[in-house]
Amino acid sequence: MNRRLVAHVMVMLISFMIGGFIAKQLNSNEAKTAMKGKAFSTTCAGFNKFASDVQWMLFINYAGSIKSVNKETSPVICKKLRAIIANDPSFFKAYEIGALMLSVEEPEKALEILEIGFNDKGLSSNWKIPFYAGYVLTHHFPDKETSKTLSRAEKYLKVAVSRSAGTERHVMSQLIYVKAKERKNDGSYTFSKKVVIPVTSDKQARIIALFDEWQDTQKRSSMLGSAPAPIYSSIGSENFNTLNYEEMILSLMQSAKQSESENKDVIDTISLVRSEMFKGRHLCDKCIFSFGPGEKFCSSCGATVQIYGLCPKCSLVVKGRFCSNCGTDAIPPKKMEQAEHK
């Protein structure tokens, strides 16, 4: 008999055997229960993942056939999603798209789906799943303003920040949003043992939340024995080392100063934060914008500012230690010693 013919026959027999096995799996009770959200008890050549891919295609087809996600369609969506991730727990798209579909109508179900992915070891480096979980909690949960829900959201968002590469600034923004809500719920903020200020404004709460993060960076830098750096230290992540908290807070203070100038709590908060964070900055008292050496008026609001940076002899702007016009030492020995001492 021709050897080539024998080889072909053997391949066909093996194919029939494998096909029969797969067919048995598809027709078994295991396959039926898998479509209800349970995984196959055995895995053969990635059959679980193959089944998950098939289920995903069926899910996309179903999603395109419905007009909206409502009380009738959401249970079906949830059931199909559970079947997909039961067979492939690391199927990220199922968590992402599925949770977003359920988030408005069934936020609790959406969070349940995301928690499965959050606890899956295969997705331990994924930042989007905990970010979506925090977002669903703070934007779609019925009790999204309560301290309990905000605390849950903060937990997820801290993980999202720690997993992020640092370029996703909206992750940090969402965390600050949550922490600001918590400060607002607290009703007051303790700057020191003697200074406690009521928190009565959203912008004020956001300034305080950022101020807290800035303080954490100072503590971390002090512990490391290095110069203060804008590192998000409260969760030990150095991914956001490019964040400039000072500029972020300064921008918020400028906005709050303009829109809430009549709110004493806001003005007091701005004054305390400014004295703590911007000791060496020349800022306009009225609008908190920076002004330069020799300037008499703020270029932003026109208010009179305290002039600095002039030569003590000829009153021209000094660009370095010595005046470029008359050569006068702009920093006398006593002032230099005081500066070095500081």
3-class DSSP string for the chain = CCHHHHHHHHHHHHHHHHHHHHHHHHHCHHHHHHCCCCCCCCCCCCHHHHHHHHHHHHHHHHHHHCCCCCCCHHHHHHHHHHHHHHHCCCCHHHHHHHHHHHCCCCHHHHHHHHHHHHCCHHHCCCCHHHHHHHHHHHHCCCCCCCHHHHHHHHHHHHHHHHHCCCCCHHHHHHHHHHHHHHHHHHCEEECCCCCEEECCCHHHHHHHHHHHHHHHHHHHHHHHCCCCCCCCCCCCCCCCCCCCHHHHHHHHHHHHHHHCCCCHHHHHHHHHHHHHHCCCCCECCCCCCECCCCCCECCCCCCECCCCCECCCCCCECCCCECCCCCCECCCHHHHHHHHHC
pLDDT at 112: 94
Number of domains into which the chain is organized: 1
pLDDT above 90 covers what percent of the chain?
46
Q: Is residue 78 part of a domain?
A: yes
What does the block give as tokens for 206? 């956001």
Q: Distances from the Cα of 84 to the Cαs of 38, 39, 119, 172, 260, in angstroms?
A: 9, 9, 16, 31, 51
CA distance 199 to 301: 27
Mean pLDDT of 173-187: 93
Residue 10 in any domain: the answer is: yes
Q: Would you say residue 177 lies in a domain?
A: no
Lowest mean pLDDT: which of 184-198, 230-244, 255-269? Answer: 230-244
Residue 163 falls inside a structural domain:
no
Q: Is the residue at 174 inside a domain?
A: no
**How far is 297 from 164, CA to CA, in rounded Å?**
43
pLDDT tens by residue, 61-109: 998 898 888 889 999 999 999 999 988 999 999 999 999 999 999 999 9
Q: Is residue 285 part of a domain?
A: no
Task: Identify whether the C-beta of residue 159 lies closer than 8 Å to the C-beta of residue 129.
Answer: no
Decide if 3 is inside a domain.
yes
Q: 246 pLDDT band (50/70/90 cuts)?
A: confident
State the pLDDT confidence band at 37, using cuts at 50, 70 and 90: very low
d(CA 276, CA 218): 12
**Cβ atoms of 156 and 186 closer than 8 Å:** no
Handedness of CA 167, 168, 171, 174 (dihedral sign): positive
Q: How is residue 264 written in tokens?
A: 């004493």
CA angle 129, 133, 138 (to 5 degrees): 150
* CA distances in angstroms from 163 to 60, 180, 209, 307, listed in the order given: 29, 22, 21, 46
Whether residue 7 has pLDDT greater than 60: yes
Instruction: List, for residues 249-299, the tens digit of each pLDDT value.
Output: 999 999 999 999 899 999 999 999 999 999 888 999 999 999 998 999 999
Q: How confident is the model at residue 16 (pLDDT cuts 50, 70, 90)?
A: low
Give pTM, 2 decimals.
Answer: 0.71
- Predicted local distance difference test score (pLDDT) of residue 46: 59
> Per the structure block, which two tokens stand in for 118?
């959050």
Does residue 336 belong to any structural domain of this protein?
no
Residue 94 lies in domain: 1-126
